[in-house]
Every structure is written in C-alpha cells, then in structure tokens.
Amino acid sequence: MDDEKAADLFGALSNGDRLKVIRALVEAGPDGMSAGDIAGKIKASPSRTSFHLSALFDAGFILRERRSRSLIYQVDFKRIGGLVNFLMEGCCKGSSELRSCCSF
C-alpha cells in the first residue's frame, strides 16, 4: 500500500451512494445483499448502483458471488482495516508512552 493507492481507496469511499452501500453491507454482515436489494436500499437506479458497486469492488472493499440470477455482495472488513492501519502507521513516533494519542 502506498499513498497513491490509499488515496484511490479513499476516493472509492468519497461518495454518498457508495457509503450507503458500504454501511448497508456492514450491517448485513456475512449474509451479504443482492445488487437489486442494494439498489432498493440506497434508492438508486440499477445502472447507477452498478456503477458504484463496480467502484467499490475494484477498490477491494466488497466481494461478489453469483447466487442464481442474483449477484450477492459482501463487505470485506480486512480491506477497511488495512486502510485504517495505513493511516495510523507509526503513530506518535511509535512511542508507547504517547500511544494513547492514537486511540479512538
């Protein structure tokens, strides 16, 4: 992970529709949701939803699996965690004394 890559990943999160998708999938957990259900939940057209799902999928935030006619999406928590850890890397010069400044 470098700064430009991480910036692209944050870019994938910098859209209201895409955050609605992520948050819906965070709540859904391992069950996931179909593209159609996601479109209904975020109140967006199929093509618009698909556009945003692709952006999130390309960034690695969501996983996709076909179940019959539907595509089921799930959030990938590891990707979110990796990005947060990148941001906090080397926090406060690595000093354990100052470590509390990094907690949230």
Partner DNA sequence: TATTTATTTCAAGAGGTATTGAAATATGGA
Partner DNA sequence: TCCATATTTCAATACCTCTTGAAATAAATA
With CB cut-offs between 5 and 8 Å by kind, which of DNA, a second copy, none does residue 29 bind?
a second copy
40 binds a second copy (CB under 8 A): no
With CB cut-offs between 5 and 8 Å by kind, which of a second copy, DNA, none does residue 97 bind?
none
Q: Which is nearer to a second copy, 10 or 69 (CB)?
A: 10
HSE value, Cβ hemisphere, 13 Å, CA-based, for 75: 18
What's the helix, strand, coil split of the chain in %, to 5? 65, 15, 20
27 binds a second copy (CB under 8 A): yes
State the amino acid at position 57 in one-letter form: F
